[in-house]
Amino acid sequence: MIELLSGFIIQLIQSSGYLGVFLLMALESALIPIPSEVTMPFAGYLVTTGQFSFIAVIVVGALANLVGSWLAYAVGYFLEETIIVSLIKKYGKFILITIHEYERSLKWFNKYGDKIAFFSRMLPAVRTFISLPCGLAEMNFWKFSIYTFLGSLIWSAFLTYIGVYLGNKWNTIGVYFHRFDLILAILLIFAILFYVNHKLKIIKFKKQ
């Protein structure tokens, strides 16, 4: 399945250029789990061949993530949660969405609040679905957009750089990424906990 998907991603980017990158990254953020870990490193490799610009690839990837996130946000904003859950249970298997992943994204948002829209762009699986609970919670649209774009910009830059660094060995990234995702998730959890603890201390100090 992954090999077929990777082949599709490579073919689309080779035939459509920046438009292909945009479509793939937009789909990833619009509840379709297209792996950015394949899209952006391959685009990074094409930077080394002179077919793409490093900066342009990063910006296109981040903007595409933002546009896709708007679609997922709109679904959460305009549909009731019972309808969303029903749709995921009925049709999620066709686009590789599970109720477990949705509930995990909702749990993350409820626990960490608006800032998770930023941090989640660099978290495995959660980044694909986090826009739904942001919409359900009616998070401020502009704040959501800013956090999403900034998080996506960092993620796109990192993946593109990996592709540039590895060159024609870019596809070996899959061997390391599951391990990296776990490490990154742990680091981000600690960063979020530190941030929350810092905020609580400030609130406590102001009350004194």
Q: Answer positive or negative: Cα dihedral of 176, 157, 131, 201.
A: positive
- Average confidence (pLDDT) over 6-13: 88
Residue whose structure tokens are 């960092």: 154
Structure tokens at 90: 């009925």
Q: Where are the domains of the chain?
A: 2-207
Q: What is the pLDDT of residue 19?
A: 97
Measured CA to CA, the distance from residue 25 to residue 101 in angstroms comes to 19
Q: Work out the angle at residue 20's Cα, subtended by the Cα atoms of residues 172 and 133, and round it to the nearest 5 degrees.
A: 85
pLDDT score, position 92: 66
Task: Tell me the pTM.
Answer: 0.76
By CB atoms closer than 10 A (0-12, 13-18, 19+), residue 208 is exposed
> Rounded to 5 degrees, what angle do the CA atoms 147, 148, 152 make?
120
- Longest CA–CA separation in the chain, Å: 63
Residue type, 120: S
Confidence of residue 119 (pLDDT cuts 50, 70, 90): confident
Q: Cα-flanking dihedrals φ and ψ of residue 183, to 5°?
A: -60, -45
User: What gap in Å lies between CA 109 and CA 104, rounded to an integer?
Assistant: 9
pLDDT above 90: residue 54: yes
Q: Which residues contact 115 (CB under 8 A, 6 or more apart)?
A: 147, 192, 195
Q: What is the DSSP letter of 69?
A: H
- How many Cα neighbours within 13 Å face the side chain of 38? 18
Mean pLDDT value across the chain? 81
